[in-house]
Structure 1
Amino acid sequence: MRLPQHLQKYIVEQDYGKYTAQDQAVWRYCLRQLKNFLGQHGHPCYSEGLTKTGISVEYIPKISEISKCLEKFGWTARPVSGFIPPAAFMELQSLGVLPIASDMRTIDHLLYTPAPDIVHEAAGHAPIIIDEEYADYLKQYSQVAKKAIISREDLDLYEAIRDLSDTKENPASTVDDIVKAEIKLTGTIKSITHTSEASQLSRMNWWTAEYGLIGDLDNPKIFGAGLLSSIGESKWCLSEKVKKIPLTVDCIEQIYDITEPQPQLFVTPDFKTLVKVLHQFSETMAYKKGGKDGLYKVLAAQSVNTIELDSGFQISGVLDSYLTASFESEKIIFTKFSGPTQISLADQQLQGHGPDYHQHGYSTPLGKFTASGLTLNTDVTFQYESGFKITGKLVDCTTIEKNSVIYTFENATMTYNDQIYFKPEWGLLDILQGSEVTSVYGGPADREAYGHTGDFVASTVPKVKYNDQQMKIFELYQKIRDIRTKNNVTEKLIQDTFQDCKNKASHEWLLFVELLELSLKFNLVVQSEIQSHLDVIMKENNELNQVITDGIKLAHA
């Protein structure tokens, strides 16, 4: 399937050769731990889903191979780089495309990384998609999320979160870099003045697709990708320290911190309930309600959005202002957009009415009117019931559909309550037929024709440069990886490799966990020395105790 032009910029080459032997070892450790724990505590389809989506414990998957497997379930997968804007992510999912971050978490962030990586996307999202009801929820959610109003504040927050996550995951980042990114995020959060629809839906996504639990409230199973891909949080979340709350539409009121473990989680009894909750919230959204409430939301958003009229016309841009018949009235009589504005019908930009033509904005009165005549190239007066009045030479009258008419005036003046809203020297005046705002939603109606908007910024995770010491460590990981493929592993081979690792990378704990696993598998004497060395590493660095202990346990399994 060929993606729309505005989405193609997020797709990257996976570049499988960039993964180091250490990356492969980190993947293997994560997947072994996750599969062992989630076989009991994950949704029943998790283990089956790993197999059916072509995901192996032994090596980082090729996204093209995952995509081929997902085709059986009506999906495909495409590689992306790190965080992509929520609007782009949702539009891809609405097309049945699972975006998979091709980047791999570092060994320092093995238990959890706030930045999207291939463990999160492939081992978290992909396996659950084989469940038909869950896949249906994802697509329906994405269709609704596409209509959500995204505010300028949302975009600033997204940028700050992405900056902090990428900074934390980048091995080249200094403590000062991280502190600066944290200060930026804190300041951005404090500056938020309102909660947008997109923000509310992101919370729903967080508490379901990312951090959702399913089943019995007292003994739930895990299905959220954030939990399925986090060794630390998958265990933490089921403890009594994490409050379990029945899932309702109220989850949209619960904020979250992407950089910290969650103190509470929501439990859905089944996947069908996800759809019910989604539909319940969607009924409150501006794309369903339109009118004054919808315009109020996009006015606060100060981002590119679309209003749709009862005549079918769609006006896309940044709403500057609107007027109602009276202060208490719900009836919209005038809308004004600032900056590049697009006019469309059925999601197709009308010829000659793109953001280049309406680059300085657009305004039109709404409602019923009487005309002194509709003869082209004659002076005509439109008198609206609201009190708006237009006079000028009618130079064009284009009927696109039965009730979709554009009137174009030359030398026009538009007035209301003795105020001038359009002057002759401003050029041609295009007026849309329409009486009501039936729908209001996020983004332009014809996104591809509109071009760049602030919610679709593309960026890539910078390529890591490794030093000589790191390259030597990678060689050790590769050596162990090669040994694992052998059928006959001798005491001398493991002993020599153990000494080599001690001499060149004595604190690289994962090397020794892998060596311990091999020594146990082949019942070698050197296992006690390897175990002793791991004990020393744990004494010297308490922060590694849990990951090493978990690795040792699984090596003995």
Structure 2
Amino acid sequence: MNVMSEIRNRYANAAKNPDYTIDQDWSSYSADEDDRWNRLSARVAEILPGRADPAFINAVDRLGLASGGVPDMEKLSKKLRALTGWSVVPVSDLVPDEVFFDHLANRRFPAGAFIRSEAEMDYLEEPDIFHDVFGHVPLLADPIYADFMQAYGAGGQAAMARGQLHNLARLYWYTIEFGLIESADGLRIFGAGILSSTGEIRFALEDDSPNRIGFDLERVMRTDYRIDDFQQTYFVIESFDALLASCHRDFTPVYEAIKGQPDHAPDALVESDRVFHRGTQAYFAGKKQAI
């Protein structure tokens, strides 16, 4: 039995509601699991200043996520609802797309209830409670970002009906999971996939390997991504207001424009890109040579 199977078995047989939510059974987390959360949050919090978007750092403190062990999602939801009307609901695993979109459209964020193993402290392919709650939830306390997430959920069913869900998924990947944002002091991180990984926090901002280019909706929707390693390209938004303005609309004309167009490779640069940094891709070339 592999490590991930052992972790997932903690909730594998949990009774699911029609919306795939489960009972978190918060009191059942062990002292080791609480300690693992505290060590993960302490390691990440140490390197966030000067790298993470300040709104994220402030919300981590405001929501009390930096210590105290694995969060109780019910108590966390009470704090979040008072700020932006969002709640966090526990699930045992990844949920079907239509269920996921329905949750987001109704200001509910589904979060995996298990916590990663000791062996996966630095990198985890499948989202756990640390990724979902520490990485995603803080920015749901920001009203503009919270509205963007709801708008994304509302657009999901339309993308599925058109057979272009893969295009919408890329928007999620390159913003909500792995997005960077401009600031007066330089680029900062807001993507949860980066913020829940100590290694990728430094890589995304400071390594010479990846491209960093300005956000463009059509460009993002045509760009493939990696799921097994750090990203070869990171997209940079101007602000949460600009992101919401770009996405809080009917995507039909965008889908029509890109339908049938060739995809861009994860490491590609195109003539229209606003390039903040042209990556060397040295990290990825080194990985290929090692194989």
Q: Which bracket does the TM-score occupy, shorter chain normalised?
A: 0.7 to 0.9
Which residue does the alignment assign to 1:486? none
Q: Distance in 2 between matches of 1:7 and 1:202?
A: 25
Q: Distance in 1 between matches of 2:184 and 2:248?
A: 23
2:168 alignment counterpart: 201
Rounded to whole Å, the distance in 1 between the matches of 2:130 and 2:221 is 27
Give the superposition deviation at 1:17: 4.2
State the secondary structure of the residue aligned to 1:284.
helix
Query: Which structure: greater strand fraction?
Result: 1
- The amino acid that maps onto 1:42 is A
Q: 1:16 Cα deviation (Å)?
A: 2.4
Distance 1:17 1:74 in 2: 25
Report matched runs for 1:412-431 at 5 Å. none
The runs of at least 4 aligned residues of structure 1 exceeding 4 Å deviation read none
Q: State the 1:51 CA deviation.
A: 2.6
Q: Which residue of 1 aligns with 2:285?
A: none
Note the C-alpha offset of 1:107: 1.0
1:233 aligns with 2:200: yes
- Equivalent pairs counted in the alignment come to 241
Q: Which residue of 2 aligns with 1:259?
A: 228
Q: Supply the distance in 2 between the matched residues of 1:265 and 1:135 (Cα, whole angstroms).
A: 21
Structure 1 residue identity aligned to 2:128:
D
Does the 8 Å CA contact 1:94/1:143 hold for their aligned counterparts? yes
Query: Aligned partners of 2:115 and 2:29: how far apart in 1?
Result: 8
Is the Cα–Cα contact under 8 Å of residues 211 and 225 in structure 1 kept in the other structure? yes
Counterparts of 1:479-518 in structure 2 under 5 Å?
none
Q: CA deviation at 1:252?
A: 0.8
Residue 284 of structure 1, CA deviation:
2.2
Matched, 1:21 2:31: yes
Contact map agreement 1:150 1:199 (CA 8 A) in 2? no
Contact 2:33 2:69 in 1 (8 A): no
Residue in structure 2 matched with residue 247 of structure 1 by the alignment: 215
In the alignment, the residues of structure 1 paired with residue 250 and residue 22 of structure 2 have an alpha-carbon distance, to the nearest angstrom, of 34
Task: Report the TM-score when normalising by structure 2.
Answer: 0.76
The question of whether the paired residues in 1 share the 8 Å contact of 2:148 and 2:243 is answered with yes
> Aligned match of 2:147 in 136, 147, 150?
136
Percent identity, aligned pairs only, is 27
Query: Residue 114 of structure 1 aligns to which amino acid in structure 2?
Result: E
Q: Quote the Cα distance in structure 1 between the aligned partners of 2:212 and 2:196.
A: 20
Confirm whether residue 117 of structure 1 aligns to residue 128 of structure 2: yes
Residue of structure 1 in register with 2:104 after alignment: 93
8 Å CA contact 1:214, 1:270 repeated in 2: yes
- Who is 1:433 aligned against? none
Q: Cα 1:53–1:268, aligned 2, differ >3 Å: closer, same or farther? A: same
- Give secondary structure in 2 for the equivalent of 1:149: helix
Rounded to whole Å, the distance in 2 between the matches of 1:142 and 1:248 is: 19
Contact kept, 8 Å, 1:81 with 1:102, in 2: the verdict is yes
Over 3 Å counting, the alpha-carbon distance change for 1:129 and 1:218 in structure 2 is same
The TM-score normalised by the length of structure 1 is 0.41
Instruction: Name the SS of the counterpart of 1:66 in structure 2.
Output: helix
For the Cα contact (< 8 Å) 1:38–1:46, is it kept in 2? Answer: no
Change (3 A) 1:15 1:279: closer
Q: Distance in 1 between matches of 2:229 and 2:184?
A: 23
| Partner SS for 1:265 | strand
Displacement of 1:136 in angstroms is: 1.0
CA–CA distance in 1 between the matches of 2:128 and 2:97? Answer: 15
Q: CA deviation at 1:134?
A: 0.8
Cα 1:281–1:197 shift into 2, 3 Å: farther
Q: Deviations over 1:107-139 (max 9, x none)?
A: 111112111111111101111111111111111
Cα deviation, residue 285, structure 1: 6.1
Aligned to 2:99, what secondary structure does the other structure show? Answer: helix
Structure 2 gaps, min length 5: 1-15, 261-291
Query: Contact (CA 8 Å) 1:211, 1:224: kept in 2 or not?
Result: yes
- The correspondence for 1:49, drawn from 33, 54, 59, is 59
Give the SS at the match of 1:219: coil
Aligned to 2:8: none
Task: Tell whether the 8 Å contact from 1:200 to 1:253 is kept in structure 2 after alignment.
Answer: yes
**Equivalent of 2:247, from 278, 286, 296?**
278
CA contact (8 A) 1:213 1:266 kept: yes
Aligned 1:30-45 pairs, distance under 5 A: 30-45=40-55
Contact 2:181 2:236 in 1 (8 A): yes
Structure number having the greater helix percentage: 2
Q: Between Structure 1 and Structure 2, whose CA radius of gyration is higher?
A: 1
1:211 maps to which residue?
178
1:11 alignment partner in structure 2: 21
Q: Is the CA contact (8 Å cut-off) linking 2:180 and 2:235 kept in structure 1?
A: yes
